[in-house]
Amino acid sequence: MAALGGSVARRYAKALFEIGVAEGNYEKLGQELEDLARAYEGSSDLRLALENPVVKPSEKTAILKAVLPRVAPSPSVERFAQLLLERGRITILRGAARAYRELADARAGQVRATVTSATPLGPAELDRVRRALEARTSRKVLIQTAVDPALIGGVVARVGDLVLDGSVRTQLEEMRHRLLN
């Protein structure tokens, strides 16, 4: 279901992205879509109201219209959100935002990477890691950082579907496998 949902979300995202490209504001639309998805994921009341089948469609539309001007004033994003609501696809909003971002990054020739370390990395270290990843992917890399003490030491970088693991935790696990086998 998740894969199917991802595929559907990518289709909707691609449609909106093409509109944005045509209008020349795909970056703005992408940011508004990102904000709308974050607001939707962050408010359980909003999710319950829009996903509850007891609530009438007209009421759902009214709620959505009340929220949209604050986070996504563009008419394209507003129509996009209303279309998802009318077709019962509002739950794919988060996936659509992610797919839209990937499309936008691909168009801009960049890729997003998540770098996780046991302790926070300094700017120089992050820069070295970014340059290494750009050399590895041949694209401009936008880094997001995260800290996970369970790694003990080292770095884990996730670029799209690619995972580059240089953590001490993973090395200990590999050592454990060798001992057992």
Partner 1 sequence: MSVLTLLADSAPAPEVHSPQLIDVDGTVFVQLGLFLLLAVVLTKLLWKPYLRVRAERVSRVDGYRKDAVQMEADAAARLERAEAQLAEARRVGSGDRVAARAEAQAREQTLLAEAHAEAQRALAVMRAHPPGQRGHDRARAHHRERPRPGRPGCPPHPGPGSVTMKRTLRLSFFGLAMGLFLLLAVPAARAEEEIHGGVGTARTDTAAEHVEEEHGEHEEGPPSIDPKKLGLQILNFGVLVFILVKFGGGAMNKMLRGRHEQLKADLASAAELRAAAEAKLKKQEARLASLEHEIADMRRSLKAEAEAEKVRLIAAAEERAARIKAETAFLIEQQVRDADQRLRRESADAALKIAEEILKRSIGAADQQKLVDTFVGDVERAPAARSI
Phi and psi for 140 in degrees, rounded to 5? -75, 130
Q: How far is the CB of 170 from partner 1 (least distance, A)?
A: 9
Q: 52-60 contacts: CB < 8 A, separation 24 or more?
A: 57/85, 57/86, 60/85
Pairing outcome for strands 110-117 and 140-147: parallel
Q: Counting contacts by CB under 8 A, is residue 176 touching partner 1? A: yes
Q: How far is the CB of 155 from partner 1 (least distance, A)?
A: 5
Pairing outcome for strands 162-165 and 155-159: antiparallel
Q: How far is the CB of 120 from partner 1 (least distance, A)?
A: 10
Give the nearer residue to partner 1 in terms of CB position, either 48 or 163.
163
Can you read off the two tokens belonging to residue 37?
């998805």
Q: How far is the CB of 15 from partner 1 (least distance, A)?
A: 31
| Sole window of 2-10, 56-64, 80-88, 168-176 interacting with partner 1 (rule: CB under 8 A) | 168-176
What x-and-dash track marks residues 132-161 binding partner 1 by CB under 8 A? xx-xx---------------xxxx-x---x
Which H or E run includes 124?
helix 123-137
Interface with partner 1 in residues 74-133 (CB under 8 A): 117-119, 121, 125, 128-129, 132-133
Give the nearer residue to partner 1 in terms of CB position, either 62 or 163.
163
Sort 28 into a burial class: Cβ within 10 Å, 0-12 / 13-18 / 19+. Answer: middle
Give the nearer residue to partner 1 in terms of CB position, either 87 or 128.
128
CA within 13 Å, CB half, 34: 12
State the amino acid at position 44 in one-letter form: S
Contact residues for partner 1, defined by CB under 8 A: 117-119, 121, 125, 128-129, 132-133, 135-136, 152-155, 157, 161-166, 168, 172, 175-176, 179-180
